[in-house]
Every structure is written in C-alpha cells, then in structure tokens.
Amino acid sequence: MPKNSLYFSFNKLWAAALLFISSCTFLFVLPVMNNMPVWVFRLCMSAVLLFSILSLEKVKLYFVLVGFIAAILDWFSDMGQYSAIGPLLKTVTFVFVFLVVGSLMIKFLKQKEVGLYSLLEAINGYLLLGILFSSITVMLFTLSPESYQSSHGNIVRNDLFYYAMITLTTTGYGDVLPVTAAAKNLAMIIAVCGQIYVAFLVGVLVGKYTNKLTHE
C-alpha cells in the first residue's frame, strides 16, 4: 500500500451510484420539499461527503481528514452561536468538494476506456460542482440578502439552488437575478467553471472514443 494512502473494500461502482443518488437528492429533491428541516440537508450533505471519499480508488489521508472535518463542521455552520464563523466552517466543505471534483477529473483523464463507471464519475463531478456553487450561493444570500432578486417576490432556498444550477449550465432564464457586485462575480465564476467542465468532459470523451475506434 502506497504511503499516505488508504484502500477501501467498498465497491467503487456502488459508491459512485450512491454519490449520484445523494447528490441528486440534495440538489433536486430536498429543495422543493416544503418546510424541510435543516438537519435533513446536513444529513444528506454528510452522505455526499462520505460517498465522495468512498468513490475514489486511492484515498489520500488528507482527503479522509478534510472530509471528516467538513462533515462535522457542516452540522455547526448554520447554528446561531456559530453564525459569526459560519463562512469559515463552510469554506472547509467547499475546499473538500473542490478537491474531490479535481480528483475525479484527473482519475477520468487517466482511464484508458470509457465505461459506465467512468461516465457516472464524470456526472458526479458535475453534480458536485452544482452542490458547491449552490452552497456558496446560499451562503452569500445568508450574509447579504440583497444580493439576489426574484421576479416572484421573496427568495427561498429552492430559488438559490435552481439559480446556481441554471447558471452552471449558462441557460439563465432571468427570473432570479444577481444584484450586487459579489453576486455578479460569483455568477461569472459559476458559468465559466460549468463551461470548462463540459468542454473538458466532451474533449476527453471524444478523444478516448476516437482512440478506441482507431485501435479496433
């Protein structure tokens, strides 16, 4: 076993599938359910962080450490007594998710053939980007409620998740708008990262598929 690495016997395909399910639940199911307790979001996010670790083939020790810290701090980030340092607690989670997305991209790039498992990992990377930017958008709105405006009145959590994912795809319907400079800059970052990821994914997929046809 390489130094500073851990190997899990947990099936990687199952881990990727569970990561996909938990990510979709966090992004598309929980936000549209009315009066959903905050702890349910925390629990789902903890599952995302756990399955993110298990989905990697070789898990560096710092991944386990940062993932564990992120899961713990995520439970405290919205509590009133920790409101002053909430953004700092959230940052640990953001860093961990960003590292996981980068690791999935590197892993996908190294694979010689494209199969169901690799495609599922690529999709998970995109969903994790959505979770990352959705969480950052929610945090920005919490710190500065005037950052966003909605055409239908008051903004709720579902609006922010929807806005982040729509911006990531660069669709933009205009029903939720960034108003402040920070919100506009974040929108540009989300759009650019979404385009870079899709361009990277398509380029790698086409390259691997072409290479496979050439060898056949």
Q: For 182, how many CA atoms within 13 A lie in the half-sphere containing its CB?
A: 13
pLDDT greater at residue 191 or residue 201: 191
- Among the residue ranges 11-20, 103-112, 178-187, the one predicted with the least confidence is 103-112
Asked if pLDDT for residue 80 goes beyond 50, the answer is no
Q: How confident is the model at residue 209 (pLDDT cuts 50, 70, 90)?
A: low
Asked if pLDDT for residue 212 goes beyond 50, the answer is yes
Q: For 48, how many CA atoms within 13 A lie in the half-sphere containing its CB?
A: 30
Give the burial class of 129: count Cβ atoms within 10 A of its Cβ; 0-12 exposed, 13-18 middle, 19 or more buried. buried
Asked if pLDDT for residue 147 goes beyond 80, the answer is yes
Which residue matches tokens 């990262």? 193
Q: What is the pLDDT of residue 185?
A: 97
Mean pLDDT of the chain: 81
Domain containing 193 equals 5-171+179-215
pLDDT greater at residue 16 or residue 148: 148
pLDDT greater at residue 70 or residue 58: 70
Q: What is the pLDDT of residue 8?
A: 46
Asked if pLDDT for residue 193 goes beyond 90, the answer is yes
Asked if pLDDT for residue 178 goes beyond 60, the answer is yes
Asked if pLDDT for residue 194 goes beyond 70, the answer is yes
Q: What is the pLDDT of residue 5?
A: 45
Residue in 93, 94, 21, 96 with CA at minimum distance from that of residue 53: 96
Number of domains in the chain: 1
For the chain, the helix, strand and coil percentages under 3-state DSSP, each to the nearest 5: 75, 5, 20
Q: What is the pLDDT of residue 190?
A: 96
For 105, other C-beta atoms within 10 Å of its C-beta total 17
Asked if pLDDT for residue 104 goes beyond 50, the answer is yes
Q: How confident is the model at residue 135 (pLDDT cuts 50, 70, 90)?
A: confident
